[in-house]
Structure formats: C-alpha cells, structure tokens
Amino acid sequence: MSNEFGQYLRKRREELLKGSPDFTVRKVAGRLGIQPSYVSKVERCEVPPPSEATILRWAEELGEDPDVLLALAGKVSAELRDVIVKRPKVFAQLLRELKDAPDHALLRVVREVRDGKW
Amino acid sequence: MSNEFGQYLRKRREELLKGSPDFTVRKVAGRLGIQPSYVSKVERCEVPPPSEATILRWAEELGEDPDVLLALAGKVSAELRDVIVKRPKVFAQLLRELKDAPDHALLRVVREVRDGKW
DNA sequence: ATGACTGTATATTAAACAGTATACATGCTT
DNA sequence: AAGCATGTATACTGTTTAATATACAGTCAT
C-alpha cells in the first residue's frame, strides 16, 4: 500500500487540527460517516484508498479539490468517465493528442472554447 | 444486466462467422483464452462485461475499436485514465469545458494542437 | 443412430473491495 | 489516580469482480 494518498490526507488534517479541535481522527470520521480506525488506516496507507463516494466526501471535509484527491487514489470520477464513455472516439483521440501538451496550451484551448470559438 | 455490450459483440461475431468458420463461440473463446460458456454469457448479457484486459483482447479479435468497446462496457482504458490522473486539474477542467462541444469543434482542437500551434 | 459440432444451463470459486466492531496503549487534565 | 480523549492494533464481514468446470440439448452430416 505505497500510495501518497494517505500521507496527503494526514498532512492536510493535521494542519486543520492546528486551527481547530474539530479535526481529530474521530471527529472527521464522524462527519464522514465512517469508523475512526478506518480513517487511521487510510491515512497511514495501511489499506488502499476508499471508494469514490467516500473520497468525494473526504475532499469536501478537508476543502480539497476532488479531482486531485481522486487522482492521488489513481481514480477518475464517474462524472468525467461519462464524458468519455458517451463519445469514446473523439475524446480518446483528443486525450492522446493532448497528453503531452504543456499546461498553458491546454488552458488556451479551454479559453478558446469558452469564448464561443465554435 | 441490461447493457448493449454483449449484443454488439454477438452481432459482430455472427457477421464474421458468415465469412469464416473460425468465429464460433468455442473458437473465439479459445483464442481469447477464456471459456466458451463465458463468451456465451457475455454475449447474451447474462453477466456484466469482462475486465479491461479481456475486452482489449476481444476488440483485437473482432477488429473493433478498443475505446468504443470499453465505452460500451462503461469503462475507460487505464491508458487514458493515466493521462487524467497525472494532471487532474487541467484535464478535469478541459473535459468539463469540452463536454458539450460538437465533434467538429473537438476535432478542430486536435488538428490545431497537432499542427504545433503551441 | 452415431459422432462431431453448435450454443447454453448450472454450480462453484478465488481474490479484491470497502469497509465494521472492539479492544488497547498513551498522554493529558483535574 | 481517575477519567477522558487521542490514535491504532486486531479480527472479522458482506459484496462484487471475473471468471472456471462440467454437463446438457439441439443440429447436421455420414
């Protein structure tokens, strides 16, 4: 279980704990609706990352970007998967083509499209 | 088990069977390295779609587009998932922005990027 | 009517997934 | 020193995934 996912969650929770006593393992587990022992195990990477649903709640709880957290767990949200699944040919081609493009190029594409350039 | 995946595979195999006796359930199963009964069940949607690895072999066997076949199974290849997982922020934004863009717009983006416009 | 193919029905399974429940050790506070 | 809150160790559980193994029924040719 050597993923960075748990370490990231722990660091983030400990930071929040400095500012408020509401971020102990137990309190967080309570709000996530899961067992404290499970939170502990996930944070220490003793078990693999949880399900998508749990990760999304966790992201909200810690104020983190859900896509980033899912990515650390090696996953992609069902929402984004659906985008691809509905038009696999175009989006597969698009992703392979843009795979190595630098960030700024991708963001330019986003901007162009948003500005109604189609 | 009401996916279109199985029906699609069966139709395709039956077409190929018309042209050659090498596309019976047993022959195909043999080349895929799985049991004939399993092929039969998958084709009749009696069981959910197989694993990604098996779907990819199946696509090759029938001469189908792997991305399309995976999509019919509701999946996205690990290869494409990796593209997103490595840079989740940009690619998540990109996909959400392009989600509803018409095909021709997406293909234009592909062309632009390929023509070194970055 | 036998043998050699078809496809399919039925029963079972090993491993992974996604956690729960309980008990325990440690440190701090009063 | 008693109580309370921390995090964690240990053992167990229901469900899903991804198939296998074997037996069976129908068709076709010889």
State whether the Cα torsion B43-B47-B48-B53 is positive or negative.
negative
Give domain A5-76's CATH superfamily. Answer: lambda repressor-like DNA-binding domains (1.10.260.40)
Architecture of the domain whose range is B5-75: Orthogonal Bundle (1.10)
User: Is B93 within 7 A of strand D by CB distance?
Assistant: no
Chain B residue numbers touching A75 (CB-CB < 8 A): 81, 85
Is the separation of the CB atoms in A113 and B104 below 8 Å?
Answer: no
Q: How confident is the model at residue B107 (pLDDT cuts 50, 70, 90)?
A: very high
Q: Is the pLDDT of residue B116 over 80?
A: no
Task: Output the CA–CA distances (angstroms, integers) from residue B103 to A92, A94, B64, in the order listed.
Answer: 12, 11, 21
Strand C bases with any atom < 7 A from protein Cβ: 5-11, 17-23
Tokens read off for B26: 């047993």
> What are the tens digits of pLDDT across the range B39-64?
999 999 999 999 999 999 999 999 99
Q: How confident is the model at residue A111 (pLDDT cuts 50, 70, 90)?
A: confident
List the domain boundaries for chain B. Answer: 5-75, 87-114
> What are the tens digits of pLDDT across the range B91-100?
999 999 999 9
Average pLDDT value for chain A: 95
Q: How confident is the model at residue B118 (pLDDT cuts 50, 70, 90)?
A: low
> What are the tens digits of pLDDT across the range A20-77?
999 999 999 999 999 999 999 999 999 999 999 999 999 999 999 999 999 999 999 9
Q: What is the pLDDT of residue A118?
A: 59
Chain A residue numbers touching B104 (CB-CB < 8 A): 118
Q: Which residue of B has its CA nearest to A81?
A: B76
Q: Which residue of B has its CA nearest to A116?
A: B101
Phi, psi of B100 (to 5 degrees): -105, 5
Residue A101 CB neighbour total at 10 angstroms: 18
Residue B50 CB neighbour total at 10 angstroms: 19
